[in-house]
Amino acid sequence: MKNLSVSQRSQLVAEKLKIKLENIANFSLDPNQIMGRNCENMIGVTQIPLGIAGPIAVKLPAREYYLPLATTEGALIASVNRGCKATRLSGGIRVKVELKGVTRAPVFKVNNLAEAEKLITWIKKNFNQLKQQVEATSRYLKLLDIEPFITGKNLFLRFSYDTAEAMGMNMATIATQQAVSLIELKLKVKCVSLSGNFCVDKKASWLNFIQGRGKCVWAEARLKKAVVKQVLKTTPEKIVEVVLRKDFVGSAMSGSLGFNGHFANIVAALFLATGQDMAHVVEGSLGITTAELETNGDLYFSVYLPSLMLGTVGGGTGLATQKEALAILGLGQGKKGEALELAVIVGAAVLAGELSLTAALAAGHLVKAHEKLGRGSK
Amino acid sequence: MKNLSVSQRSQLVAEKLKIKLENIANFSLDPNQIMGRNCENMIGVTQIPLGIAGPIAVKLPAREYYLPLATTEGALIASVNRGCKATRLSGGIRVKVELKGVTRAPVFKVNNLAEAEKLITWIKKNFNQLKQQVEATSRYLKLLDIEPFITGKNLFLRFSYDTAEAMGMNMATIATQQAVSLIELKLKVKCVSLSGNFCVDKKASWLNFIQGRGKCVWAEARLKKAVVKQVLKTTPEKIVEVVLRKDFVGSAMSGSLGFNGHFANIVAALFLATGQDMAHVVEGSLGITTAELETNGDLYFSVYLPSLMLGTVGGGTGLATQKEALAILGLGQGKKGEALELAVIVGAAVLAGELSLTAALAAGHLVKAHEKLGRGSK
Amino acid sequence: MKNLSVSQRSQLVAEKLKIKLENIANFSLDPNQIMGRNCENMIGVTQIPLGIAGPIAVKLPAREYYLPLATTEGALIASVNRGCKATRLSGGIRVKVELKGVTRAPVFKVNNLAEAEKLITWIKKNFNQLKQQVEATSRYLKLLDIEPFITGKNLFLRFSYDTAEAMGMNMATIATQQAVSLIELKLKVKCVSLSGNFCVDKKASWLNFIQGRGKCVWAEARLKKAVVKQVLKTTPEKIVEVVLRKDFVGSAMSGSLGFNGHFANIVAALFLATGQDMAHVVEGSLGITTAELETNGDLYFSVYLPSLMLGTVGGGTGLATQKEALAILGLGQGKKGEALELAVIVGAAVLAGELSLTAALAAGHLVKAHEKLGRGSK
Amino acid sequence: MKNLSVSQRSQLVAEKLKIKLENIANFSLDPNQIMGRNCENMIGVTQIPLGIAGPIAVKLPAREYYLPLATTEGALIASVNRGCKATRLSGGIRVKVELKGVTRAPVFKVNNLAEAEKLITWIKKNFNQLKQQVEATSRYLKLLDIEPFITGKNLFLRFSYDTAEAMGMNMATIATQQAVSLIELKLKVKCVSLSGNFCVDKKASWLNFIQGRGKCVWAEARLKKAVVKQVLKTTPEKIVEVVLRKDFVGSAMSGSLGFNGHFANIVAALFLATGQDMAHVVEGSLGITTAELETNGDLYFSVYLPSLMLGTVGGGTGLATQKEALAILGLGQGKKGEALELAVIVGAAVLAGELSLTAALAAGHLVKAHEKLGRGSK
């Protein structure tokens, strides 16, 4: 099926299975751009409803954004929207973002500890040479660090990169391959796997949670008591209690890697709309929610997301609908700092969505929200 | 913006932001079906390239399926396809599936241990009455179990349901609300949050990993040595070594909740194509890969996925493109057992994709595969 | 050195190393009782200072106990003592205990899923026969359950036992060996290891945290505001804040398996004094602390310990000093229910010690306490 | 009871409870040294049988040690002894040790992210001043690093120290208090708790596992095939299989923080004998075991312990029996490097004990070993 056009392939499948693929065939993406880049054996597209929430008010610097959210889960966009309104009316969301770097960690088999130490010493000594070699693989990539970890005959080297506006996993992989080849050549050791699960890519892990990966984001807002009442239909006290009993005690009791309500929902909807890799929702939704009562009765609310892998160029970001979604955010034009700005937006959006869900739970309105919107299967 | 049509809203956004949303506006989904159900403030759709892999051969009973995979990650479908071929040539994939049940766990605030015990005793005594009441909320839902967990003043009740062919989170939430109302009325206790993060929904957690949630799937295949060589370009020995050093040692060292290579990629692509909730990729990608050398030199390869939340009715499964993707799998016609069949397919597809990536790593071909397909950002 | 007496062996070591072992040689334990039972190659004893705290007031039924605590950590006993006083003045500590059972989980190598299922089916069918056989290995042991877990070719069977007043790990191991032999004989499968780390013995694990092991204990107390002030030198509000920021947020951020301050200290001191296996401190110190403000300003304080492996017969409990320590608690006479009573005491003692440390942190007195007592190395 | 002598207090307790405390009263430790330092309300001692294993052969530099092990678990010392013999006959154990530093992490309450950032900036700027101040609290302590972590209003500062030959938790706490006082004074922020559970002290945590704490140790040995057969009664192949299925697959399935067999047993016995803090067994027993088949059929075996908190001065190390046990190891004379040497010994001893248990499981001899030695309760 490799050499067929999209429509030929789609027809073939439809005929063979005696089904119709009319909607899948309805698309405006350019197959020539997609083939050999985003998707093989293409038969069309999956259409995901795209809605808008906001504007969301972000501070430092002050900006407002409409949020493009792709989802099939009723009530989600309405909920994020409500969170946008409540935070906007309270002065907006302050966000802090830190570049942690894209990581790739090959695993080498060494014969013993002495060999591992020799390798580590060599890397420290030849860091600049390695840096030069790996940075020659891409004009966007900078090597930040190489961190070694040993157990038995296994030596992991965690390479960390700045990949500019790209999410950069591919770039990092190619660069690391280059370094690995050099190390294998010079030190006669064997790399068993270019990824040694110490990266950690697309799995929930404490390593990423504690040390961060990609972009690390903190967002906070101070909600006026009256706004909590009018917009969120509950009280700061009740929200604080839900965060304590659900996000902390419940997560502690269940061995959760993630002390939050539903980061994954908002991260998934924004990632899908803007062309990110959907498997990165796994680590992107790691994080912690906190809520506190201010002395004047207002609500302090925060979210922390240590492992956001995202970009504004490369991957799915260049596809026509995704590019338009990025344009809604004022992004996708290749300016420096766009990836960090997208991380800021994700952090703020997650805060809005998390706040709204927590408030719905606090008010006892979860079922009502879902019964009004998004209900289905009774 | 609530009362606008999709195109009016889209136009408004485009004008306001001085951008074009032409591709987003290109869709064949029915907005009337979507509004109030899957998406609010709709402005169009996100188009995700949809490709096909397979056929994949599943055993017991023997069936073949073409896999619809929605993704923007180049090389993924080619990789799954290669895994399908290798397993097909080796006699197919055996899959075991178990219904664990959809869970929802409200958290109650009790005054002390005695009150918690009283509540638990009441529930045991009145289980049948509760069952009758909650099952009245949907003709598809069956209450399987209520499991209590206490710490301090926090009492979690983990309700577990059979929700037939629906993923069922909404149904389960509505049913649990019914039970909660009854408990609050009868026992004068207060439910603080209908979800107490002991469900655990859309977060990585050891509770789901150990006890399972939704559907729990095991898949295994025995790859002929010659097939590993010809199709996967490596040897069983090398694959076994990658699984050991990467999936086990690397995951152990990094505190990962998931001892596998990239379950998330395949789960995300299948979930997206078939209308599942994308936030469920987080728990759906939990699991373990194993590889062993058979005495005759063949390769035994297995995957284990304890927490698959999916369905063939409800949610996004009724959308036009998603319905067609389900039709490719012969699903979506409301037959009994379809959800379990979909879980079987996901398990088999994950095995195929996991096998192929592991083989690429073992062969040192990861970069080559990505350079040929899906490359981008150099 | 095997056939020497304790003093001969001690002398030999002293001479060879040119050192004196006079204090080690000073003991009143009976070597004949110890050899072949508790210690090989004995050269004497380690003396650990033993102090007393309390009395601690436990409720339901109401009892008071002096706590024997063996420790070298200055300030620990004083701190537990203070917690005893504060809780005693507030009406005592209510404790709930549940027998979870001693577990042992051998791992079998099966050829495939079908073989695993066959084995599981056989076990369900022949549970009564297995029960009879394993219970023949000891007149104290009862088989409670056998729970299977599969991944790839690995089948774990988690056997759970009631071992009466003994901690029972040895008994459970012998009984499980019996079951394993029968299974191997009847089903021609191979047990690779009698312990498959799914027990989980002496390691921190989420399995034990979530499902419990040995004895599971909850303890709670309601501290009067005035008592908190006078005895603990702080306020309920401050204690609540320390528990939140330290035990919940700090533990969440650091990937801790244990949301408490220092359960390990109290468990270790009581285990050491009463002849328990010190490696069981690892799982015995798992657990959660909670603190809440009551509406009248009092403090609610609780601890939860899901995995206490302990007993009042067997192991080190029969040694002379340990037996006397058990006598201080009114235990060690072989009465039914003594092991559960000891678990109750451990739970109460942990609450007292945890409360006192938390209060010291809240008051900013940690350093002062250690400077007054137990300081050392400046 | 505070002002009584040990014997007066012991007598009082005995009379009150109508029991005898004769053995507890038998001790040679000096109460004057203990009071105000190691134990309050002392009534005597707990005697723990102390045995000897070895010699154990350690390499780089080559040394042999007899191991003092305090335990009540029959078969443990015999097992360690067997591991010593097998490794000694195979050329000894190579050990690598790294000082990670003693850590203490207070948690501050800040008003918002901006305040947290201000504090962090201040610390970076004033690191040298802080260093000078905290190092003035002890002539042995050096400040290595201060690492900040933020979530919401919670700011954790993880102070890391070199405490020379002392385990150093007390020193580190006093030094951190000094730094905290300065920070509170200069920045008008409030430290909520001097320990914020981001240290992480005496709890199992991924932070310590990944970043290390105290001393981090790797040990490895290459066992000759013939030695495995003659001494350990099994084969390298079987040992490799037990490590895979038990230590890796079993630990992965059960959510264990520790991929080993029984590190806790050996760590506990050595810690107890040498006067360490027994609650540090919790983090000290974290770690990973690996086993591999060498091409010539020999066995490679390794252990990794990332979080050993220990010392040769301070705490319980000065007590008479503990001092003698340290003398058996040639330690306790206050020489520089003794604490690292003790860590090396612990690493080697853990390897020996782990190897022997794994071999017993591989040979199917676990029950036999326990039946011969240390059995009890049938």
Whether A143 and A226 share a structural domain = no
Whether C41 and C65 share a structural domain = no
Q: State whether residue B290 sits within 8 Å of chain C by CB.
A: yes
Mean pLDDT of chain C: 95
Task: Count Cβ atoms below 10 Å from residue D343 Cβ, excluding itself.
Answer: 24
Whether B274 and B360 share a structural domain = yes
pLDDT tens-digit map of C288-343 = 999 999 999 999 999 999 999 999 999 999 999 999 999 999 999 889 999 999 99
Whether D238 and D279 share a structural domain = yes
Residues B138 and D112: their CA atoms lie apart, in Å, by: 46
State the pLDDT at residue D61. 80
Which residue in chain D has the smallest CA separation from B306? D253
Interface test with D, best of A98, A203, A207, A210 (most D CBs within 10 A): A210
Hey, which chains touch D, using 3+ CB pairs under 8 Å?
A, B, C
The whole-number average pLDDT for the span A189-211 is: 98
Chain B residues within 8 A of D288 when measuring between CB atoms: 249, 252-253
The SS3 assignment for B66 reads strand
Q: Kindly determine whether residue A254 and residue C210, on different chains, have CB atoms separated by under 8 Å.
A: yes
State the pLDDT at residue A205. 98
The SS3 assignment for B307 reads strand
Residues in chain A: 378
Q: State whether residue D151 sits within 8 Å of chain C by CB.
A: yes
- For C158-195, give the DSSP string: EEEEE-TTB--HHHHHHHHHHHHHHHHHHH--EEEES-
pLDDT tens-digit map of D113-131 = 999 999 999 999 999 999 9
Which CATH number is A135's domain given? 3.30.70.420
Q: Kindly determine whether residue D153 and residue A211, on different chains, have CB atoms separated by under 8 Å.
A: no
Nearest to C255 among A209, A248, A254 (CB): A209
Chain A residues within 8 A of B376 when measuring between CB atoms: 37, 166, 170, 314-315
Burial class (CB in 10 A: 0-12, 13-18, 19+), C121: exposed
Chain B residues within 8 A of D290 when measuring between CB atoms: 249
State the pLDDT at residue B376. 37
State the pLDDT at residue C367. 77
The whole-number average pLDDT for the span C36-45 is: 95
pLDDT tens-digit map of A134-187 = 999 999 999 999 999 999 999 999 999 999 999 999 999 999 999 999 999 999
Nearest to A373 among B36, B361, B374 (CB): B36
Which residue in chain B has the smallest CA separation from C295? B111
The alpha carbon of residue D268 is apart from the nearest alpha carbon of chain A, in Å, by 22
Residues C349 and C219: their CA atoms lie apart, in Å, by: 9
State the pLDDT at residue B245. 98
Q: State whether residue D304 sits within 8 Å of chain A by CB.
A: yes
Residue C373 clears pLDDT 60, i.e. is over it:
no
The whole-number average pLDDT for the span A318-333 is: 97
State the pLDDT at residue A1. 67
Residue B202 domain flag: no
- Check residue D51 and give left, alpha or beta (phi > 0: left; psi -120 to 50: alpha): beta
Interior angle at CA C98, CA B180 and CA C122, nearest 5: 90
Q: State whether residue A254 sits within 8 Å of chain C by CB.
A: yes
* Three-class HEC string of chain A: CCCCCHHHHHHHHHHHHCCCCCCCCCCCCCHHHHCCCCCCCEEEEEEEEEEEEEEEEEECCCEEEEEEEECCCCCHHHHHHHHHHHHHCCCCEEEEEEEEEEEECCEEECCCHHHHHHHHHHHHHCHHHHHHHHHCCCCCCEEEEEEEEEECCEEEEEEEEECCCECCHHHHHHHHHHHHHHHHHHHCCEEEECCCCCCCCCCEEHHHHHHCCEEEEEEEEEECHHHHHHHHCCCHHHHHHHHHHHHHHHHHHCCEECECCCHHHHHHHHHHHCCCCHHHHHHHCCCEEEEEECCCCCEEEEEEEEEECCCCECHHHHCHHHHHHHHHCCCCCCCCCHHHHHHHHHHHHHHHHHHHHHHHHHHCCHHHHHHHCCCCCC
Which residue in chain A has the smallest CA separation from D147? A211
- B150-174 in b/e form (b: 16+ CB < 10 A) is bbbbbbbbbbbbebbbbbbbbbbbb
Whether C352 and C250 share a structural domain = yes
Instruction: Find out whether B227 and B90 touch, Cβ atoms under 8 Å.
Output: yes
Instruction: Name the token pair of D92.
Output: 């000894």
Mean pLDDT of chain A: 95
Q: Which residue has the tokens 């007993």?
A: C311
Nearest to D252 among B253, B254, B288 (CB): B288
Q: Kindly determine whether residue D304 and residue A96, on different chains, have CB atoms separated by under 8 Å.
A: no
Structural domain range at position A177: 106-193
Residue A41 domain flag: yes
The SS3 assignment for B25 reads coil
Q: State whether residue A113 sits within 8 Å of chain D by CB.
A: yes
Residue ranges of chain B with per-residue pLDDT less than 70: 1, 368-378
Whether D33 and D145 share a structural domain = no
Interface test with B, best of C119, C120, C149, C220 (most B CBs within 10 A): C220
Whether B295 and B318 share a structural domain = yes
Instruction: Find out whether D148 and D157 touch, Cβ atoms under 8 Å.
Output: yes
Instruction: Name the token pair of C334.
Output: 């072989």
Whether B269 and B317 share a structural domain = yes
Which residue in chain A has the smallest CA separation from C290? A249
Whether B169 and B228 share a structural domain = no
Interior angle at CA D362, CA D356 and CA D366, nearest 5: 65
Instruction: Name the token pair of B327.
Output: 């039709």
Residue B220 domain flag: yes
Chain D residues within 8 A of B290 when measuring between CB atoms: 249
Hey, which chains touch C, using 3+ CB pairs under 8 Å?
A, B, D
pLDDT tens-digit map of C270-302 = 999 999 999 999 999 999 999 999 999 999 999
A374: confidence class by pLDDT, cuts 50, 70, 90: very low
State the pLDDT at residue A370. 61
pLDDT tens-digit map of C200-215 = 999 999 999 999 999 9
Chain C residues within 8 A of A209 when measuring between CB atoms: 255
Chain A residues within 8 A of B65 when measuring between CB atoms: none
Whether C266 and C349 share a structural domain = yes
State the pLDDT at residue D3. 80
Residue C378 clears pLDDT 60, i.e. is over it:
no
CA distances to B239, D226, D236, D293, D300 from D296, rounded to whole Å, are 22, 12, 11, 8, 11
CA distances to A76, A99, A367, B148, C228 from A346, rounded to whole Å, are 15, 14, 26, 36, 44
Chain B residues within 8 A of C209 when measuring between CB atoms: 206
The whole-number average pLDDT for the span A7-36 is: 95
Interface size, chain C vs chain D, as Cβ–Cβ contacts under 8 Å: 498
Cis peptide before B313 (omega within 30 of 0): no
Q: Which residue has the tokens 């194993």?
A: B290
Instruction: Find out whether D361 and D239 touch, Cβ atoms under 8 Å.
Output: no
Interface size, chain B vs chain D, as Cβ–Cβ contacts under 8 Å: 33
Whether B294 and B352 share a structural domain = yes
Residue D206 domain flag: no
Q: State whether residue A244 sits within 8 Å of chain C by CB.
A: yes
What are the beta bridge partners of residue A217?
A97, A305
Nearest to A220 among D96, D152, D292 (CB): D152
Residue type, position C35, single letter: M
Q: Kindly determine whether residue D268 and residue C278, on different chains, have CB atoms separated by under 8 Å.
A: yes
Q: Which residue has the tokens 């990505």?
A: B370
The alpha carbon of residue D339 is apart from the nearest alpha carbon of chain C, in Å, by 14
Q: Which of C135, C237, C241, C370 is catalytic?
A: C370
Instruction: Name the token pair of B196.
Output: 């107490």
Nearest to C360 by CA among C7, C78, C130: C78
Residue C226 domain flag: yes
State the pLDDT at residue D378. 34
Interacting residues of A368 by C-beta distance below 8 A, sequence separation 6+: none
Which residue in chain D has the smallest CA separation from C246? D196
State the pLDDT at residue D283. 98
The alpha carbon of residue D195 is apart from the nearest alpha carbon of chain B, in Å, by 22
Which residue in chain B has the smallest CA separation from D244? B244
Residue C209 domain flag: no
Chain D residues within 8 A of B253 when measuring between CB atoms: 210, 288
Residue B26 domain flag: yes
Please list the pLDDT of chain D residue by residue as tens digits (378 residues).
Answer: 678 999 999 999 999 999 999 999 999 999 999 998 999 999 999 999 999 999 999 997 899 999 999 999 999 999 999 999 999 999 999 999 999 999 999 999 999 999 999 999 999 999 999 999 999 999 999 999 999 999 999 999 999 999 999 999 999 999 999 999 999 999 999 999 999 999 999 999 999 999 999 999 999 999 999 999 999 999 999 999 999 999 999 999 999 999 999 999 999 999 999 999 999 999 999 999 999 999 999 999 999 999 999 999 999 999 999 999 999 999 998 899 999 999 999 999 999 999 999 999 999 987 766 665 544 333
State the pLDDT at residue D365. 83
pLDDT tens-digit map of B40-69 = 999 999 999 999 999 999 997 899 999 999
pLDDT tens-digit map of B313-354 = 999 999 999 999 999 999 998 899 999 999 999 999 999 999
Q: Which residues of B are the active-site residues?
A: 73, 277, 370
Q: State whether residue C115 sits within 8 Å of chain B by CB.
A: no
Residue A199 clears pLDDT 60, i.e. is over it:
yes
Residues C141 and C132: their CA atoms lie apart, in Å, by: 11
The number of folded domains in chain B is: 3
Instruction: Name the token pair of D325.
Output: 């046990």
Which CATH number is A320's domain given? 3.90.770.10
Residue C71 domain flag: yes
Whether A116 and A161 share a structural domain = yes
Residue C178 clears pLDDT 60, i.e. is over it:
yes
pLDDT tens-digit map of A84-128 = 999 999 999 999 999 999 999 999 999 999 999 999 999 999 999
Hey, which chains touch B, using 3+ CB pairs under 8 Å?
A, C, D
Nearest to A112 by CA among D91, B357, C346, C259: D91
What are the beta bridge partners of residue B290?
B302
Instruction: Find out whether B307 and B214 touch, Cβ atoms under 8 Å.
Output: yes
Residue type, position B261, single letter: G
Which residue in chain A has the smallest CA separation from C206? A255
